[in-house]
């Protein structure tokens, strides 16, 4: 039986696009990879927009008299609103579909990004950061949901790795473009130009994205390939409330992974420009190259991490074990960042940060995929939203600690000692998260549909 949405009617409707040569089906399109490209560019824009304030922070802090604690409050507002948005966005996407939900999120965050250029005081920045956080929260629940619809399980980690690499490209584009725009046209132009890119993407999204069973550009061969390789997605008429998902141990495994490691990525996004500025005395014009190198490495890590677990699965590994082993390797690759107190060379430090950031992105690609591994696709958006909310809560609390810690050591005349403590925390977080996830997650690698249809706890 064809699982929904790949009904016999939908497949038959596409039959006219199938070509047979000597009884062998050869017409398999690759439209799903175009969808992946759209998701990649959306994620790139998402991270480009959120990076602008961090890059302009040294100059804006001087102009508006911000302390480290003041800036940490802005980051905390962004992440708190991001967490609030995740409560709603995952369920919204599951209920109303990826196309509408994602489109609304991109529209609102683009308006908020442009809106930064209009504010003239600290309170205005706080408001815009909050609006940006609420809207940007919809990116990953929407993107992972789209992957769960368009890709068979064995390709999902690679697809998520590719779209997650957009975070890296956005982070690379930001230091390459934002300082130049700010230096040439003023800081307002940096917010305005980057914000407009989301509106351009939105036009392509409206034209190109449809759910597989509504899409007339993918061949029936591709639809059949996706369907037959995803025999596990038969869901029947089962339904479950958002709160009911909290009955499953697998939900908490995902939550713990996001809670302990997302704040590390927030730190790398929002404080690395200040770190290079304070420790190596780089100004706005010279910050670009070290940051570009770090964030280029994250692109490599994102795709490589997704590819590795997919490769293991293709070689016969159990899905759960392939994800776990890959994530353990990546967790160990973050540990060398704890050596920062003994590293004096800027380029050696760039190398350690590049390794840690790349490992994080590979970790994140596999972590996101565990949601679609363990849950039927109709619940994926909600589960990602729950986990993302936990990560955003951690990302709200951690900056408050960072601000107090750095201001304390700054008053003592040694702010770099505060950064060294933070890097030790970063280096150990992934191993702790992996151990806790392994303890919490169900002994069986995958959740089955039967568990959900019975509405039983795991």
Q: How confident is the model at residue 285 (pLDDT cuts 50, 70, 90)?
A: low
Q: Which residues fall within 8 angstroms of residue 311, CB to CB, at 6 or more apart?
A: none
CA 397, distance to chain mean position in Å, is: 19
Inform me whether the pLDDT recorded for 457 exceeds 50.
no
Inform me whether the pLDDT recorded for 116 exceeds 50.
yes
Q: How confident is the model at residue 446 (pLDDT cuts 50, 70, 90)?
A: very low
CA dist., res. 86 & res. 390, Å (int): 9
CA dist., res. 127 & res. 161, Å (int): 32
The HSE-up count of residue 210 (CA atoms within 13 Å, CB side) is 11
CA dist., res. 20 & res. 22, Å (int): 6
Closest CA to 372 of 105, 101, 166, 90: 90
| Whether the Cβ atoms of residue 435 and residue 327 lie closer than 8 Å to each other | no
Gap between the terminal Cα atoms of the chain: 27
pLDDT tens digits, 34-43: 888 899 999 9
pLDDT tens digits, 149-171: 878 777 777 787 788 778 778 87
pLDDT tens digits, 291-309: 778 878 877 887 788 788 8
pLDDT tens digits, 356-378: 989 998 898 888 778 777 777 67
DSSP for 131-192 reads HHHHHHTTHHHHHHHHHHHHS-HHHHHHHHHHHHHHHHHHHHHHHHHHHHHHHHH-HHHHHH
Query: In what helix (H) or strand (E) does residue 229 lie, and over which residues does it extend?
Result: none
CA dist., res. 449 & res. 84, Å (int): 29
| Whether the Cβ atoms of residue 287 and residue 277 lie closer than 8 Å to each other | yes
CA dist., res. 296 & res. 294, Å (int): 6
pLDDT at residue 334 in the model: 93
pTM passes above 0.85:
no
Maximum mean pLDDT: which of 153-162, 214-223, 320-329, 385-394: 320-329
Query: In what helix (H) or strand (E) does residue 214 lie, and over which residues does it extend?
Result: none
Q: What is the mean pLDDT of the chain?
A: 78
CA 304, distance to chain mean position in Å, is: 15
CA dist., res. 411 & res. 427, Å (int): 26
| Whether the Cβ atoms of residue 19 and residue 47 lie closer than 8 Å to each other | no
| Whether the Cβ atoms of residue 106 and residue 42 lie closer than 8 Å to each other | yes
pLDDT at residue 229 in the model: 52
pLDDT at residue 429 in the model: 93
The DSSP 8-state label assigned to residue 232 in this structure reads: G
Query: In what helix (H) or strand (E) does residue 42 lie, and over which residues does it extend?
Result: helix 31-64
As a dihedral over the C-alpha atoms of residue 265, residue 268, residue 33, residue 372, rounded to 10 degrees, the angle is 0
To which residue do tokens 């890059």 refer?
55
Q: Which residues fall within 8 angstroms of residue 68, CB to CB, at 6 or more apart?
A: 402, 403, 406, 407, 410
* Fold observed for domain 36-217+240-453: Growth Hormone; Chain: A; (1.20.1250)
pLDDT tens digits, 198-244: 999 998 998 888 777 776 777 777 777 777 655 444 444 455 566 67
Q: Which position has the higher pLDDT, 324 or 22?
A: 324
pLDDT tens digits, 76-100: 888 888 888 877 776 777 777 888 8
Mean pLDDT, residues 137-143: 85
Q: Is the peptide bond before 5 cis (omega within 30 degrees of 0)?
A: yes
Mean pLDDT, residues 110-125: 87
Maximum mean pLDDT: which of 19-23, 308-312, 396-400: 308-312
Cβ neighbours around 1 below 10 Å, total: 6
CA dist., res. 436 & res. 310, Å (int): 23
């Amino acid at each position: 039986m064809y699982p929904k949405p790949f009904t016999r009617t939908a497949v038959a409707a596409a039959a006219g696009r199938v070509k047979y040569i000597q009884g062998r089906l050869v017409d398999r399109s690759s439209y799903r990879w175009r969808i992946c490209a759209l998701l990649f560019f959306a994620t790139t824009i998402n991270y480009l927009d959120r990076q602008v304030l961090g890059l302009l922070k040294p100059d804006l802090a001087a102009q508006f008299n911000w302390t480290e604690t003041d800036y940490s409050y802005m980051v905390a507002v962004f992440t708190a609103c991001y967490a609030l948005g995740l409560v709603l966005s995952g369920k919204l996407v599951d209920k109303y579909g990826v196309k509408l939900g994602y489109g609304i999120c991109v529209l609102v965050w683009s308006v908020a990004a442009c809106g930064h250029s209009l504010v003239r005081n600290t309170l205005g920045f706080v408001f815009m950061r909050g609006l940006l956080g609420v809207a940007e929260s919809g990116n990953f629940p929407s993107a992972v949901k789209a992957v769960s619809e368009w890709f068979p399980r064995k390709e999902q980690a690679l697809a998520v790795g590719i779209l997650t690499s957009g975070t890296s490209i956005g982070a690379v584009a930001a230091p390459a473009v934002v300082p130049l725009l700010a230096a040439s046209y003023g800081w307002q132009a940096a917010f305005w130009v980057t914000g407009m890119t989301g509106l351009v993407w939105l036009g392509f999204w409206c034209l190109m994205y449809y759910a597989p069973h509504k899409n007339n550009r993918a061949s029936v061969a591709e639809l059949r390939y996706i369907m037959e390789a995803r025999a596990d997605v038969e869901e029947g008429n089962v339904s479950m409330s958002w709160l009911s998902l909290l009955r499953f141990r697998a939900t908490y495994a995902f939550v713990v992974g996001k809670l302990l490691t997302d704040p590390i990525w927030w730190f790398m996004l929002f404080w690395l420009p200040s770190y290079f500025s304070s420790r190596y005395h780089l100004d706005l014009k010279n910050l670009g190259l070290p940051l570009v190198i770090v964030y280029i490495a994250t692109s490599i890590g994102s795709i490589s991490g997704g590819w590795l677990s997919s490769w293991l699965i293709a070689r016969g590994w159990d899905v759960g074990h392939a994800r776990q082993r890959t994530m353990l390797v990546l967790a160990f690759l973050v540990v060398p960042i704890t050596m920062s107190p003994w590293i004096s060379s800027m380029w050696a430090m760039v190398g350690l940060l590049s390794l840690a950031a790349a490992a994080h992105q590979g970790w994140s690609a596999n972590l996101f995929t565990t949601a679609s591994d363990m849950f039927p696709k109709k619940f994926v958006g909600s589960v990602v939203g729950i986990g993302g909310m936990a990560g955003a809560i951690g990302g709200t609390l951690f900056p408050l600690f960072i601000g107090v810690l750095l201001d304390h050591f700054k008053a003592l005349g040694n702010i770099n000692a505060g950064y060294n403590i933070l890097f030790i925390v970063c280096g150990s977080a992934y191993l702790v998260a992996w151990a806790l996830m392994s303890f919490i997650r169900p002994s069986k690698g995958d959740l089955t549909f039967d568990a959900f249809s019975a509405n039983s706890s795991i």
